[in-house]
Amino acid sequence: MSRIGKKPVVVPQGVEASMKANILTVKGPKGELSFTHHVDVAIAVADGAITVTKKGESKRAGALWGTTTKMASNMVEGVMKGFQEQLELNGVGFRMAVAGKKINLALGFSHPVEMVIPEGLEAKIEGNVLTISGIDKQSVGQFAAIIRRLKPVEPYKGKGFKYVGEIVRRKEGKKSSS
């Protein structure tokens, strides 16, 4: 039994949820999100709550039950508050700047790296911290992961992108024999 799947998702005041065929649509103050659910689960919207039930007793239905409930919960939270990821860039000579819908990065490569900000996301830079925000949790996390993958933090000097609050275990460098 899924502990997450059993709990209904409460739809707060100011958020509107609706089902049409197998598409769940959630509208709120920050925008609108829609999600096409799998046929092994059923979604019902009633009395200010979204409930997900599994169809049948297959392994797949059980696996999708909690996942679908969490997707609905993330949609409600996204249209109410939104999501954000913060990346910190450390390293001498490493720079980043937002120019319109692009992020220009100087990461020590032979060429500058230019990343196009996906539709529905915003990027802000304050000092050496890049903040990516939007209403879709998956797209915010995916874009942050793509940027981090360009120059992940290395354990010797701590250069590169790391999430704010991430702890990087530092290694000791080579010692010279004398």
pLDDT per position as a tens digit, 81-131? 999 999 999 989 999 999 999 999 999 999 999 999 999 999 999 999 999
Q: Sketch the domain layout of the chain as residue ranges.
A: 3-80, 83-163
Assess contact for 22 and 39: CB atoms under 8 A.
yes
Mean pLDDT of 133-150: 96
Residue 85: count other Cβ atoms within 10 Å of its Cβ. 21
178 pLDDT tier (thresholds 50, 70, 90): low
Q: What is the CATH number of domain 3-80?
A: 3.90.930.12
Assess contact for 143 and 103: CB atoms under 8 A.
no
3 pLDDT tier (thresholds 50, 70, 90): confident
Which listed CATH number (3.90.930.12, 3.30.420.40, 3.90.226.10, 3.30.9.10) goes with 83-163? 3.90.930.12
Same fold for the domain at 3-80 and the one at 83-163? yes
Q: What pTM, to 2 d.p., does this model score? A: 0.89
141 pLDDT tier (thresholds 50, 70, 90): very high
